[in-house]
Structure 1
Amino acid sequence: MEDLSKRSHLLNRNGHYYLRVRVPVDLVDRLKKTEIKRSLKTKDSKEAKARLQLELLKVEEEFQKLRRQLLKPTPSASVSTPLTNHISNTDLERAVLIWHRKESAKSALEDDQLRISISPTEKDAVLDNLKDDLAALSNADEVINASSIQATANKILDESAIDKQTLNREQAQYFYNLIRQARLEQIFESFERFGEFFQRKPSSLFTNTQALAWTGESIPSNDVTLEILLQRFRSAKRSDGLTEKSLAGYKLTFDFVVELFGKQKPIKSLTPADCREFRDKLAQLPSNAKKKYPHLTLMQAIETCAKGSTEALSATSVNGHMKNLSAIFNFAVREQLLDTNPANHIPQLKVKRNKKGRIPFNHDELHKLFSTPIYTGCKDDEHSYNVPGENKPRRHRFWVPLIALYTGMRLNEICQLFTDDIECINGIHAIHVRVDEDETKTLKTDHSERIIPIHKNLIEIGFLEYVNKIKAQNKTQLFPDLSSSARDSLSDNFSKWFNRFLIASNLKRAGLCFHSFRHTFRDECRAHNINKEIAATLGGWKHSEDVMDNYGMGYELKVLQDAINKIHSDLQLIG
């Protein structure tokens, strides 16, 4: 666990970020705890830092509210006592910022729902209303005396427990102007969601939340740049639920298109010829260019590759980035920033078909794999996992391949397991493959969520004892020693290690990788004549398009247990 709380109130637990704040001494008795810990509901460090600021403001506001409650007069008091003797500008800013974030989130949801089916005429009406609102807020002297601002101010004061009577005239004027600035920012955010952009100057309060004051100069649609488009694309994908791991797959596409054309290039000036150039240039880029040449630009790396010093990206990779580019431009078309997608109809590069797809392990390979030192006795399971020794460590490198062998689970599904995902249901021990409330875990498809009985062989070699040991340590993650990759993925590094493990064990051949366990599992189901629907239920595959298959509760766990115990029942492993 990476504890960042001492310097930033930020806690990283198993790749997921939390706010952590120590409760002031004067409030410990009232709150009955010494610290506050809340999920920030993200695994992205940048997003966590942004959300942290708002959550810190909320916590501080809660502390202030509790203190004011403690200062409230008792019913027997003969003289009325104010809630607080002094309100600072910082208190007012904090209250407005908390209200602004809530209103912005609510407005974003309403706008996104409206944009799904809005017609051009309706969109024009929305923009006209926003322009009217903008004009109404343009005169600060008139606005801060408006009844709507006064009503909002009273609402914010009530929610924050700030006593209006304690505000002097200057503070009231400052407070109302803050609300005006927040309303302006909310309007500009709505404009941008509907495809209108403005050049604005930073406002001191909203700088950290990207709130800006209007200068009155709009950006014509012809001048929407690549930079603006990519920012909007990222934001929209996050709000649509795309994970940071999936969004990371666009990084090279983003970087390359910006470096090739320049971030200030108007998107309406891009042509099919430009997209063809993107494809052809990308095909000259060295594979893993940023890792091999961290001090070179992508274009400089291409020059290095041209000298024959390294291998270029595969056609499959180039075609994948072309799909990303087309997805970005399709988004621009849907947002009415472009009339057509310039990347449409650009032919893909021809992929050489000399590579085999993923293949299953054969019987001899499985015996050899599970007879390696990490299973029979090794020096250690870090750098000397393939060196015979007296140690028999039972950690992730031991268990993850075994779980894949006997369940057919995907690597990421195994790596992200929590201890409470191992359950005993009606006397049957099972693995519950599912997501969690904090969205720490993800699943590939809707069919991936399932309950898999634990194979008798796994139980015999001590899997349940391992689970109980980790639970006794109060660990959340079933495999707490797994390290996250730069993409915040628990499976990336393990996948790379397993590939090295296959090579070190003289097992590596074309098409053989960790995912081969899943192919092996499917072949075992066929070999034992396991019903296709049961096999699909165990493996998290979609069985058919038949509507009838969506009815009922599915197979009883005992039926699934009987089926899964047939898998590799004759494979003898050393416990």
Structure 2
Amino acid sequence: MKKAPDKCVFKRENGTYYFRRAVPKELVGRIGKREWKVSLKTTEYGRAHAEGVAIFERTERQIAQLRGTARSADPVEAGLPASDEQVEAIAAAVFSRSATMTIGRFEGHVVAGRVQGNAAAETLQKLEAEWASLQASTPLGAIHTEFLALLPKIEQRANRDIDPMSALGVKLRRAHWQMMKSSLRNRIAQLKGDADELAALNSSRRPRPDLKLLVELFRKHRTADWAPSTHQKFDAVSAVLLDILGPNLKLSAIDREVGRDLHEVLHDLPPNYKKRRQLAGLSAREAAAVGREKGLPKLGRKTLEDYLNHISSVFEFAVHEDLIKGNPVKGLKATATKTDADRVPFTQSDLVKLFSAPIFTGCVDDEKSWREPARTQVRRGRYWVPLVALHTGMRLNEVCCLRKGDIKFEGSVRYIEVSDSGGRRLKTENARRVIPMHPQLLKLGFWDWVQSTPGGDDADLFPELQMDAKGSRTNVFSKWFGRLRKSVGITDAGKTFHSFRHLFTDLLREASVSMENSERIMGWTNNHVQRGYGRGPSLNSLSADMNKIDLSMASIDHLIPLQKRQLSE
């Protein structure tokens, strides 16, 4: 049974991924090794998986070629390049790799532009060898891919009598005629000592791929398993990339200077520049210039890092496919000064304001009238999500996606399991973890509330939270939380829902929780450490550390149900 690509990607102890696949036994002698083993040079699973799939596909092609099982669709049915321009481009590309080829090979074999006799087989054999030496993504793109797949079939038919007037015959005659012309040019150039002229002739015949094509190829071959939200981010980044450098920029022109220029423009680019009135109608480069001149806000460091990571992935793909010589942005970092939005925890004053709002103390309802005070507490998503984040440091997406079965207990420890089961997506592979409940969260009645909710383990804890068009609750909740924050007077743009996570990180440090356990609780540690979660001392150790965290600064005793307050007294 053929092995799936994701079964060939493994992780080293240092966190770096590598590709490993056994060579079929019958091909070991021909390939010269027992396995393919390649470092993927990344600790990020998403990038490793994409790279692994690409390597897997290359090994599949090699296996198929050696076994003689490469695609054998009829050339006429599948379609060789039909136009003269495409045929000439292919031939020019082949012969650009062999500038010393002479016309002698073809002398006596060409009559009225057609190759006769054994020369057809010999020439096609040469053609196949040349093409096999090229990698799967030469600048000829799709033309090359189809043509390469057809070569085995062409060779099989080359030794037969081919009707020169058939579709295949016409196309072969075109290709061979172009070979002869290329060889003549080559011979003339050699005699004149004008190799530069030959190179210019060859390059003028070859289609020159541009940045737009590169982005399209990357999207086609590297994004299939991405989450919708990641697709959305990439669409935004690629639009900016094409806006800054231009969709028609030839890949041959991309070098380090282009990378530095791109890096500089990104650092001056105002966020949401297309939506700003004062920047309406401006290109990204123009918006960056105006932003620099007028001192407008710039992209935050985290956003810059995301942009550069996506862009670097595109260029690494191009390097891997031999479309460019080097990644022009490799090593270029997001050097913007940390903005307030990068890392600002809530203060005690902020927490008092937040948890004194009607949505927590009592409101008419938790939908349209959440600002209007009332005596009834409405304990649903808008009530619990901020409180859970305060007591666990969980990310917004992690809390919004909780299901009833994620709230568990083992022995005397009640805990929350952060999982990607059921199609849920986590920010990183390391985000899978368990978090013991803080005693104060239990006093607030979260455990009891979960047990009282309808449905089984697969039921969403907060089904009433609205989703956006892509099925995410996070974006909608984040916007609502922004309105809540402003309604209680917290106007600092650097304070967002993520400020709960920054605060919890500080509280772990203040409680002298070990780095190892802090990383486990926050979801920063490697997976091999996390596999012991939920069993024995590990969970008890985490629970003991959670009990050390002092959250009295939040002043939320007024939210504890009366009966639990009486029990604690």
Aligned match of 2:525: 542
Alignment of structure 1 residues 126-165 onto 2, 5 Å: 133=71, 137-139=74-76
Query: Displacement of 1:288 after TM fit?
Result: 1.4
Query: Displacement of 1:376 after TM fit?
Result: 0.9
Paired letter, 1:565: N
CA pair 398-301 structure 1, distance change in 2 beyond 3 A: farther
Conservation of the 8 A alpha-carbon contact between 2:434 and 2:521: yes
Paired letter, 1:557: L
Aligned match of 2:216: 231
CA pair 573-232 structure 1, distance change in 2 beyond 3 A: farther
Q: Gapped runs of 5+ residues in structure 1?
A: 1-107, 142-190, 203-212
CA distance in structure 1 between the partners assigned to 2:510 and 2:294 by the alignment: 48
CA distance in structure 1 between the partners assigned to 2:542 and 2:333 by the alignment: 44
CA distance in structure 1 between the partners assigned to 2:414 and 2:135 by the alignment: 52
Paired letter, 1:250: F
- 2:55 counterpart of 1:112: yes
Conservation of the 8 A alpha-carbon contact between 1:223 and 1:267: yes
Conservation of the 8 A alpha-carbon contact between 2:507 and 2:550: yes
2:447 corresponds, among 439, 450, 464, to 464
Alignment of structure 1 residues 383-422 onto 2, 5 Å: 383-422=368-407
1:338 corresponds, among 301, 305, 324, to 324
Deviations 1:326-353 (A, max 9, x none): 33112200111112234457x7686345
Q: Tell me, what secondary structure is at the counterpart of 1:432?
A: strand
Q: Tell me, what secondary structure is at the counterpart of 1:424?
A: strand
- 2:422 counterpart of 1:478: no
- 2:415 counterpart of 1:430: yes
Alignment of structure 1 residues 241-390 onto 2, 5 Å: 241-279=225-263, 286-292=270-276, 299=283, 302=286, 306=290, 311=296, 313-314=298-299, 316=301, 317=303, 321-344=307-330, 351-352=336-337, 355=340, 357-390=342-375
Q: Tell me, what secondary structure is at the counterpart of 2:481?
A: helix
Paired letter, 2:383: F
Conservation of the 8 A alpha-carbon contact between 1:412 and 1:491: yes
Paired letter, 1:270: I
Deviations 1:62-104 (A, max 9, x none): xxxxxxxxxxxxxxxxxxxxxxxxxxxxxxxxxxxxxxxxxxx
Aligned match of 2:545: 563
Deviations 1:413-440 (A, max 9, x none): 1111122212233354321111114x32
TM-score normalised by L of structure 1? 0.56
Q: Tell me, what secondary structure is at the counterpart of 2:142?
A: strand
CA distance in structure 2 between the partners assigned to 1:378 and 1:548 by the alignment: 44
CA distance in structure 2 between the partners assigned to 1:303 and 1:247 by the alignment: 24
Alignment of structure 1 residues 45-56 onto 2, 5 Å: none
Aligned match of 2:498: 515
Q: Gapped runs of 5+ residues in structure 2?
A: 1-50, 79-133, 147-166, 176-202, 561-569
Conservation of the 8 A alpha-carbon contact between 2:269 and 2:284: no
Aligned match of 2:424: 440
CA pair 133-367 structure 1, distance change in 2 beyond 3 A: closer
CA distance in structure 2 between the partners assigned to 1:229 and 1:355 by the alignment: 36
Deviations 1:227-256 (A, max 9, x none): 3311221233325x5433234323233113
Paired letter, 1:421: D
Alignment of structure 1 residues 22-37 onto 2, 5 Å: none
CA distance in structure 1 between the partners assigned to 2:540 and 2:330 by the alignment: 51
Conservation of the 8 A alpha-carbon contact between 1:423 and 1:432: yes
Deviations 1:467-504 (A, max 9, x none): 23443389732211223346654322322332332222
Aligned match of 1:501: 484
Query: Displacement of 1:532 after TM fit?
Result: 3.9
Deviations 1:144-194 (A, max 9, x none): xxxxxxxxxxxxxxxxxxxxxxxxxxxxxxxxxxxxxxxxxxxxxxx9955
Alignment of structure 1 residues 58-207 onto 2, 5 Å: 112-113=55-56, 115=58, 133=71, 137-139=74-76, 194-195=137-138, 197-199=141-143
CA distance in structure 2 between the partners assigned to 1:569 and 1:110 by the alignment: 47
CA distance in structure 2 between the partners assigned to 1:533 and 1:314 by the alignment: 33
TM-score normalised by L of structure 2? 0.57
Alignment of structure 1 residues 37-48 onto 2, 5 Å: none
Q: Tell me, what secondary structure is at the counterpart of 1:368?
A: helix
Q: Tell me, what secondary structure is at the counterpart of 2:479?
A: helix
Query: Displacement of 1:551 after TM fit?
Result: 8.3
Q: Tell me, what secondary structure is at the counterpart of 1:452?
A: strand
Conservation of the 8 A alpha-carbon contact between 1:406 and 1:567: no
CA distance in structure 1 between the partners assigned to 2:209 and 2:54 by the alignment: 20
CA distance in structure 1 between the partners assigned to 2:513 and 2:521 by the alignment: 11
Moved more, 229-238 or 300-309: 300-309
Query: Displacement of 1:282 after TM fit?
Result: 5.0
CA pair 270-494 structure 1, distance change in 2 beyond 3 A: same
Q: Tell me, what secondary structure is at the counterpart of 1:565?
A: helix
CA pair 355-450 structure 1, distance change in 2 beyond 3 A: closer
Query: Displacement of 1:320 after TM fit?
Result: 5.0
CA distance in structure 1 between the partners assigned to 2:404 and 2:548 by the alignment: 26
CA pair 295-489 structure 1, distance change in 2 beyond 3 A: farther
Conservation of the 8 A alpha-carbon contact between 1:370 and 1:573: no
Percent identity over the alignment?
27
Aligned match of 1:147: none
CA distance in structure 2 between the partners assigned to 1:384 and 1:273 by the alignment: 55
Conservation of the 8 A alpha-carbon contact between 1:359 and 1:519: yes
CA distance in structure 2 between the partners assigned to 1:551 and 1:403 by the alignment: 24
